[in-house]
Amino acid sequence: MSQSTAFQSAPLGDPNHAIDLALFGALGDLAMRKLFPALYHLDREGLMPESTRIMGLARHEHDVASFRKMVNDALQKKAEKQRAG
């Protein structure tokens, strides 16, 4: 099997192309400041399929509600910083 046929990617925004993303260090600074905002904007622009699943992995355990709150807080902080200039 040639390399070109072994890996074929779907175009960005293809709604039929499922994405499963494992994000290691999901509670870290990089994830909160850069990765989650980038994923949010991709989704907002319709560039991520609805079937996308993101699994956040971290050293410390959190329930789903507290994890979502942390990500939401980070997104709001980023938005406020951008509005302030």
Q: Does 2 reside within a domain?
A: no
Q: Does 65 reside within a domain?
A: yes
| Paired strand residues for 57 | 24
Q: Which of 82, 83, 78, 63 lies closest to 29, judged by CA? A: 78
Q: Could you report the average pLDDT of every consecutive run of 10 residues in the chain (85 residues)? A: 52 70 95 94 89 91 92 93 86
Q: Does 12 reside within a domain?
A: no
Looking at residue 2, what is its pLDDT?
47
Looking at residue 54, what is its pLDDT?
92
Give residue 59's domain range. Answer: 19-84
- Cβ atoms < 10 Å from Cβ of 36: 21
Q: What's the total number of domains in the chain?
A: 1
Q: Does 75 reside within a domain?
A: yes
The full DSSP string for the chain is --HHHH--PPPTT-TTS--EEEEETTTSHHIIIIIHHHHHHHHHTT-S-TT-EEEEE-SS---HHHHHHHHHHHHHHHHHHHHH-
CATH code for the domain in which residue 40 is found: 3.40.50.720
Looking at residue 50, what is its pLDDT?
86
Looking at residue 47, what is its pLDDT?
86
Q: Does 7 reside within a domain?
A: no
Looking at residue 72, what is its pLDDT?
95
